[in-house]
Amino acid sequence: MSLTSSQSPQGAPLEAHPAAQPTAVVEVAEFVDARVTPRGSLENLSHEEVAKLLDRGQGGLYPIFRQCALAVLNSGTYSDDARALFEKYRDFELKLTQQSWGIKLELTHAPGVAFVDGEMIRAVKEHLFAVLRDIVYISNEIVDNGRFDLTSSDGITNAVFHILRNARVLETKGHPDLVVCWGGHSISRDEYDYTKRVGYELGLRGLNVCTGCGPGAMKGPMKGATIGHAKQRITNGRYIGLTEPGIVAAEPPNAIVNNLVIMPDIEKRLEAFVRLGHGIIVFPGGVGTTEEILYLLGILLDPANADQPMPLVLTGPASSAAYFAQVDEFIGLTMGPEARKRYRIVIDDAAEAARIMAKGFAAVRGHRRATGEAYNFNWTLRVPHDLQKPFIVTHENVAALDLHLDRPVHTRAANLRRMFSAIVAGNIRAPVIREVEAHGPFEISGDARLMQPLDSLLAQFVAQKRMTLSGAYRPVYRVKA
């Protein structure tokens, strides 16, 4: 790989965090031109695939490839402002060169943080070509092939399976050991340190970690698990990161992830989490984390899943007790008392959270063996079709959401999840941010009994600075009784 750097050097903290003061800096070039060869994911492409990847027109893959690649190369920086990223690197370009023995990827005006001493960081390089692998596969084999019926529930699940299999995250043959960790990318230092302690306890018990792959509560458990695994001399620990094109620019993959998968949309990403994972830990977060909780509870409350063991723990440091109390109250008011029976709240006890997971996995193993279900992908879990269908975030679609307490629980869960998904999009997705700026906040309306606790919960998220990593927050929503 050869490269040249341009512009002036700048200092970059070894680990960026809102409450952390950098203790050391590494001098890096701000912009870099480089030529990179694939590593581990996709060594060869057809002429047709190369042409499609470089096609900037409608239906071409270049825009999404550029967006995801730029996000991966920006790993390690502390910002969730996708527009600022795209503006700073507006001259960033990619070019694929096909040779008889494979391909080369030429980068122009790339983020210098992805390089050290003239070489691209190995993890970043792996992630870059994971992006290439998934974009090519999803386009050719999932969307354009006609093999998958993406309007049916079974067809969507089948597509999720094939994407994960192609990414080689289903190759493990061991017992249930994968903990999905959800939580916010914008959390306090105290909460971030706690996620590392929980990850450490999971690693000591030989458990692996799957997250949304970004910073904050998505990075902390992986970082802690690496130490726990090292102490137990586990050298093949899995740190799986699942993301999707709409949010990857605002939440770039952290370098600990050793299995990165780009799913086509948020709904297939969520389904991948619940079918891959054997248990779930939820750390403090904001609207995105609440969206994930509602999604999962909507599934677990389906009568078809009554016998499905899925250990679920909501946990954080002592400073997060009030946060979880309010989330717990909101769940009770919106999903009913049965929903509260499906999880445990553990405050300031990382070891206990890990023990609950380890004990719960014994029940998962017993259930999978009794039913003949695979350990690496839960086919028997029923995901209601309402939770699978992609939600297009527009002012009209948000205003039309049916947010009433007398609806069936899966319908209620699906529409509440969509509402929170819209707020996430308005916070971090550049196209949706522009729509909000042009047409004003989303109008959210429904039952007063639901709107009041919703408004209170969202106000708490704003007050606790859980909506954005930096700067004052301007709400992208307006709650109407």
* 24-65 pLDDT, tens digit each: 444 556 888 888 887 655 556 777 788 888 788 777 888 888
Residue 128 Cα distances to 40, 105, 253, 260, 421, angstroms: 11, 10, 10, 9, 26
pLDDT at 201: 98
Report which secondary-structure segment, H or E, holds 134.
helix 122-137
Return all residues near 213 (Cβ < 8 A) that are at least 6 apart.
241, 242, 243, 251, 253, 254, 257, 260
Instruction: Assess whether pLDDT exceeds 50 at residue 16.
Output: no
The whole-angstrom separation of Cα 136 and Cα 243 is 16
Are the C-beta atoms of 9 and 28 separated by less than 8 Å?
A: yes
Q: What is the pLDDT of residues 267-311, one digit of tens each?
A: 999 999 999 999 999 999 999 999 999 999 999 999 999 999 999
pLDDT at 469: 67
**Complete domains list, the chain, with CATH:** 3-143 (3.30.1850.10), 174-481 (3.40.50.450)
The backbone torsions φ and ψ at residue 105, rounded to the nearest 5 degrees and listed phi first, read -110, 120
Tell which residue, 454, 447, 417, has the closest CA to residue 299. 417
pLDDT at 6: 38
Q: What is the greatest pairwise CA distance in the chain?
A: 65
H-helix segments, 336-376:
337-340, 350-371
Tell which residue, 223, 215, 4, has the closest CA to residue 107. 4
Q: How far is CA 430 from the centre of its chain?
A: 17
Q: What is the pLDDT of residues 435-463, one digit of tens each?
A: 999 999 999 999 998 999 999 999 999 98
Q: What is the pLDDT of residues 373-416, one digit of tens each?
A: 999 999 999 999 989 999 999 999 999 999 999 988 888 888 99
Please tell me which residue, 432 or 29, carries the higher pLDDT value.
432
Least confident of 36-40, 323-327, 349-353, 364-368: 36-40
pLDDT at 479: 93
| Burial of 151: CB neighbours in 10 Å, binned 0-12, 13-18, 19+ | exposed
176: helix, strand or coil: coil
Residue 18 Cα distances to 79, 89, 126, 190, 286, angstroms: 10, 23, 27, 11, 16
The whole-angstrom separation of Cα 151 and Cα 206 is 39
186: helix, strand or coil: coil
Q: What is the mean pLDDT of residues 70-92?
A: 79
Q: What is the mean pLDDT of residues 173-202?
A: 93
pLDDT at 21: 41
Q: What is the pLDDT of residues 188-225, one digit of tens each?
A: 999 999 999 999 999 999 999 999 998 899 999 999 99
The whole-angstrom separation of Cα 282 and Cα 217 is 9
Which one-letter DSSP state was computed for residue 110?
Answer: E
